[in-house]
Amino acid sequence: MEPQRDADPTSELFEGRVQGLVATVRLDERPLQGLAGTLDWHLQGVLSRAIKKGFLTGTSGECVYVPVAHHGKTLHLLLMGVGGGISDGLVREATQTIQKNIRSLGIAKLGLSRKDWGSSEKEVRDWIKKNFKEGEVCLLN
């Protein structure tokens, strides 16, 4: 798996090419947008219900792990709170949190959506190349 490729993140997850996805959640973004919104739709509103119950807020630095059972496999979602939006400091904090969590969960292949990271995509791509073996983490469309 290349560090970046044009592939739909949800297809990559549900077809088993990645074991998990990282999606960003903004504090003031309801309904959810980006990858989190797409995942919420596929999962029949489970993320929206988590927000309503207060389990997920989008607060900067928040990291919520959501395991999803799909065809007998556990798929892993990491939801990263980014407050009002992505900043350089937040990218550093988020990428460290992601690294810690995927290693402790034993996730071998993780996908991140380029669209979620916006102008910080280059920093995220550089972080992937520096901290992971080829194929462990990739940026998806």
First CA to last CA distance, the chain: 14
* Domains present along the chain, CATH in parentheses: 4-140 (3.40.220.10)
Indicate the pLDDT class of residue 4, thresholds 50, 70 and 90.
very low
pLDDT tens-place string over residues 81-110:
988 888 777 777 888 888 888 888 888 899
Identify residue 129 by its one-letter amino acid code.
K
Please tell me what DSSP assigns to residue 85. Answer: S
Residue with tokens 């992505």: 86
pTM for the full predicted model: 0.86
Residue pair 52/31 in contact by the 8 Å Cβ criterion: no
pLDDT tens-place string over residues 35-56:
999 999 999 999 999 999 999 9
